[in-house]
Structure 1
Amino acid sequence: MQQQLHKFAGKFTVAACCVALFFSCRKDKLSTDGNGNGGGGNGNGSTALSAEDSLKYLMYNIMQVSYADGGRNKSQGLPTYFWYNSVPAINPLDSKYSSADVLLSTMAQYAINPATKRPYDHYSFLDRTGSLTNKLLNGISAATTVAATSGDVGLDYGAAWDADNQKVRFFVLYADKNSPAGKVGVTRGYEIISINGNSKFDTTATFLNQAYNAILNSANVTLGFKRPDGSTFTSNLAAGTYNVNPVAFDSVLTMGTKKVGYFVLYTYSSVTNSSGDPTNTKTAIDEAFTKFKAAGINNLIVDLRYNGGGAVSTAEYLDNLIAPATAKGKVMYNYQYNDKLQAVATSIDLETVVNFSNSDPGGLTLENVFFVTSRNTASASELTLNNLRPYMTVQLVGDTTYGKPVGFIDFNISMYDSTHTKKYLADLYAINFATTNASGSGGYYTGIAPQALARDLINVPWGNIVYDENLNMINNYLKGNGYSITKTARTESLMPSLSAIKSATKMAGFNGMVDYRLSKQIQQALK
């Protein structure tokens, strides 16, 4: 009897809405007068700052003072942090802030959501590797760790507890078709049965951390796999750079009398690159929709259960493909900035409204669009489905989404050292704006609830209507039986979740939601 495993997942990395903007200290050495005020190393008692103190100083100024040149030039009086007015005056160079990360974490604690009594901001962070742009903008995987200097192996995995055999088991959640793992045929539902020759898995924190680092954070890993048919193979996977293919699976399914397009997107890499040319992402999405249109589908399932977001251009592209003709030229979504930025948004070329295309690129006539969601569905993924709700029937099946109606402007922070060499410090992702759809709906900080709850059974391959609870429920809904579950899908031997090993299943990597149009607009405004 086929066993099904319930993924116990938590979102440990935050997806985001972002705009890329590059920022650096224009002096050879950033200095301070001792009160946290920037100086120019003018010999009046100022002291050159360390790289970490420079990062703290510049980060604080971008968020709380102004976004250009440490607050000294054209943007004087324009703080960028969405909740800047909740943060008290802080000396960013105070010794109690041992790092810029500690300072950022402190600043994020002040704006409290009255509905939850907890801080709004559990999203902001510093990216110290600078690995996001190539993946998100150009659709090319990039190194994310010191060990894996040339990309990654291109898969993510989940864990479940086998109560019958009293052991933890690992299953592939998805694999990029163009990645090292994808090229040897690895896909969802494959079980990882050995890691570098070790087939004895346990639930100790030591083992789970070692397994996570070996699979996702190493330059090479040898993995043993078991396919759903029981056959096995072993492959040595070397982390590599590849053209991202966000479409992990696509198919035309038959549900009752209806033809249903189904595709899985695990990330939102951009549909256009830094030169404005189409990427592999656009090609993959176009191929799926060409297949759907040719098949004459009248319902669509977009599986975003592992999609933490990505480039805003891809969210908009999908919305234009899915939306009905009645949405042409109408509002897709709105940006909302803090009061000071909002007041001058037009003069500094900050976009405030995005409209649907005046054409009908998808050419589909859909009765319903279903989104398979989970606690890992975040940011640009949430934006995609929220944008469509004013114009068509949108149904969510799975679990409540992550909850991120706010986004980032990506500030690339650098300094110049004593040799006049530019030194990269970090990319700052601190919340800068919120989004709402054409009906003014947003603010989903606790997530967007589904119409039907379904479990994520991680050893079930993509597109399996019988055993994937999400697809099983949609199938029954389209047959006129409501969101019921077929008995066979419920009576299989199920593995209970085990919260003690939840940390073993955190999603790999970070995918922001980057709007490079705004980047260009803001940079032009600074010239």
Structure 2
Amino acid sequence: MTRTSNRFPHQTVALAMVAALLQAGCGGGGGDPGASPFPGSGGSSGGGSIPASSQSAGRLVNSSVSGALPEHWVASTCTADRQRSWVRSIVHEKHLFYRQVPNINPASYTGTPQNLFYELTRFGIPNNRDRFSFVIPQSTASATFEQGQGVGIGAAYVYDGQGRLRVAYVEPGSPAAGQFDRGAQIVSINGAAVGNSLTSAQIDALYPSAAGGTIALQVRATPAGVTRSITLTNTTYTIAPVNRSLVLPGNVGYLHYTDFTTPSGQIQLADTFSTFQTAGIADLIIDLRYNGGGYLAIASQLGHMVAGSRGANRTFERLVYSDKRVRENVSVPFYHRHLDLPGYTNPRAGQSLPSLNLSRVFVLTTGDSCSASESFINAMKGVDVQVVQIGGTTCGKPYGFTRYPNCTFAYFPIEFEGRNDRNESFPASGITPTCAVPDDLDAPLGLPGEALLDAALSYRATGQCPALVTAQSRTLPPGVKVGSPEPDSPRRIKLVTP
């Protein structure tokens, strides 16, 4: 995606697609309160006094144990200087690659605390090793992670191999529902033609931060269709991560699951798997092609519902922190019950989840399958469930975060690498598919005739990949990228609960 005005990752994001690692408490804390924030520098670089750790900096900055949300914070306490000191300390304490974090003195840094965070992480760590650390407003984090709410018109978008912006799917009950469907082409946004990449203004329009505004679109039902104009109002809506589920002929279950972020998604998953269990399905196809991740706990629940007894007393994912946080390494089990999550009280908490006890699962993926979605694939392999992966290589994010609130922002430095029960991770280049098949935006999801689903059904019948000339083997037009145009920093996520 080409950015037109700012080197820092765009901070206006769709609530429906944002996720992060949740941790109770304010300001982070932890680490060695006596450690110098500048290794070998005696605590300063270029002059100025810097708190010894985010714990001490946090005592200066945080003004409320409830998380310093906008209605709680005090301007005289949350000064830019104090926030920058906290940001510098928390990154050096918590980051998985802390040894490569650049040595920037917050006392002499004149940019915003949020920009300092990016200078220390994504833009400061060499070799593009950190592509995922991000910061968002606390109000956005709370609405998304705790309430499962999205804001906007309720459509997900991807670029196809011809540089056209297409609709990937639509949220039920959202303003976009009934206006257009999967495969529609977005021709213009608020009067500006859509090119191979989006401008900052177009990103703001597609991914608003608040309800109430409108967006004017020119759309075509298909790229060859007639152009029509529509104007929709951005609203707040409840995300339904089970976007589609059905039982196909031959007792094959199909599930399109869009994110692991929505806390109530575990209830939707449980109801879907109860239906599959009653139907006696013999095989399961899980469509994670647009699932950027979310709660590791919900991914673990999905793992149990697929693997059943194979995951009993075994590790779904082991969280491996930096060498100075070895004592924090912990194993996440295959959760077999409904869970309460931070900010969300599950009415079924403690009740058992259904399971299919499958020895094989088909997973549909693209480059937008990320983080907790990849953890699910890796975890299945760790307990000897055969994974037949159809589609594209995943995004390549074996890392996860904790949410660190500070004043009106929430910060997410990558902190740990995930490994399965065999102590195996997966590469930052992504998990390669069993059968490479291009995403098919010209067909509805979950119905015969859609390329990834057809390939999975073909493999099920023959044990071989279908003979296809994949889009991945063709040379894309200059400047064209395939996949989501959404600001990438908050989309690549893996959440753990405190």
TM-score bin (small chain): 0.7 to 0.9
Match of 1:80 in 2: 94
Contact map agreement 1:454 1:470 (CA 8 A) in 2: yes
Q: Do structure 1's residue 336 and structure 2's residue 320 form an aligned pair?
A: yes
Match of 1:310 in 2: 294
Q: Which runs of 5+ in 2 are unaligned?
A: 1-8, 30-43, 61-75, 338-351
Displacement of 1:132: 2.0
Contact map agreement 2:19 2:144 (CA 8 A) in 1: no
- Cα distance between partner residues in 2 of 1:339 and 1:462: 44
| Among 185, 188, 201, the residue aligned to 2:182 | 188
Contact map agreement 1:15 1:513 (CA 8 A) in 2: no
Matches within 5 A, 1:199-278: 201=193, 203=195, 210-217=201-208, 219-223=213-217, 225-227=219-221, 235-254=230-249, 258-271=250-263
Report the 3-state secondary structure (helix = DSSP H, G, I; strand = E; otherwise coil) of the residue aligned with 1:387. Answer: helix
Contact map agreement 1:35 1:91 (CA 8 A) in 2: no
**Alpha-carbon distance change, 323 to 431 in structure 1, aligned in 2, over 3 angstroms:** same
Match of 1:53 in 2: 81
Q: Do structure 1's residue 515 and structure 2's residue 493 form an aligned pair?
A: no
Displacement of 1:297: 1.3
Displacement of 1:389: 0.9
| Among 122, 140, 149, the residue aligned to 2:149 | 140
Match of 1:373 in 2: 365
- Cα distance between partner residues in 2 of 1:357 and 1:283: 13
| Among 67, 77, 100, the residue aligned to 2:113 | 100
Query: Once the two structures are superposed, what CA deviation does each residue of 1:469-489 show, in whole Å capped at 9, x if it has no partner?
Result: 222221211111511147xxx
Displacement of 1:61: 1.6
Q: Do structure 1's residue 458 and structure 2's residue 441 form an aligned pair?
A: yes
Displacement of 1:160: 4.3
| Among 376, 386, 389, the residue aligned to 2:381 | 389
**Alpha-carbon distance change, 269 to 449 in structure 1, aligned in 2, over 3 angstroms:** same
Displacement of 1:204: 7.5
Displacement of 1:496: 7.8
Contact map agreement 1:403 1:447 (CA 8 A) in 2: yes
**Alpha-carbon distance change, 458 to 52 in structure 1, aligned in 2, over 3 angstroms:** farther
**Alpha-carbon distance change, 313 to 363 in structure 1, aligned in 2, over 3 angstroms:** closer
Query: Once the two structures are superposed, what CA deviation does each residue of 1:203-238 show, in whole Å capped at 9, x if it has no partner?
Result: 386x85554443333821244555469698765321
Give the number of the structure with larger relative contact order, counting CA–CA contacts within 8 Å between residues 6 or more apart: 1
Query: Once the two structures are superposed, what CA deviation does each residue of 1:421-445 show, in whole Å capped at 9, x if it has no partner?
Result: xxx2x21111111211100011522
**Alpha-carbon distance change, 125 to 211 in structure 1, aligned in 2, over 3 angstroms:** closer
Match of 1:157 in 2: 157
Displacement of 1:194: 5.9
Contact map agreement 1:192 1:223 (CA 8 A) in 2: yes
- Cα distance between partner residues in 2 of 1:181 and 1:223: 11
- AA aligned to 1:305 is R
Matches within 5 A, 1:417-496: 424=408, 426-466=409-449, 468-480=450-462, 482-485=464-467
- Cα distance between partner residues in 2 of 1:212 and 1:25: 31
Report the 3-state secondary structure (helix = DSSP H, G, I; strand = E; otherwise coil) of the residue aligned with 1:252. Answer: strand
**Alpha-carbon distance change, 259 to 311 in structure 1, aligned in 2, over 3 angstroms:** same
Equivalent residues, number: 428
Query: Once the two structures are superposed, what CA deviation does each residue of 1:300-323 show, in whole Å capped at 9, x if it has no partner?
Result: 111111111112222122111111
- AA aligned to 2:485 is K
Identity %: 23
- Which structure has the larger Rg? 1
- AA aligned to 1:513 is K
Displacement of 1:507: 2.7
Q: What TM-score does the superposition give when structure 2 sets the normalisation length?
A: 0.74
- Cα distance between partner residues in 2 of 1:406 and 1:15: 16
**Alpha-carbon distance change, 102 to 132 in structure 1, aligned in 2, over 3 angstroms:** closer
Q: What TM-score does the superposition give when structure 1 sets the normalisation length?
A: 0.71
Displacement of 1:329: 2.5
Report the 3-state secondary structure (helix = DSSP H, G, I; strand = E; otherwise coil) of the residue aligned with 2:83. Answer: helix
- Cα distance between partner residues in 1 of 2:160 and 2:368: 17
- AA aligned to 1:352 is V
Q: Which runs of 5+ in 1 are unaligned?
A: 1-10, 27-31, 42-47, 65-78, 113-117, 142-150, 163-167, 272-278, 346-350, 415-423, 519-527
- Cα distance between partner residues in 2 of 1:364 and 1:381: 19
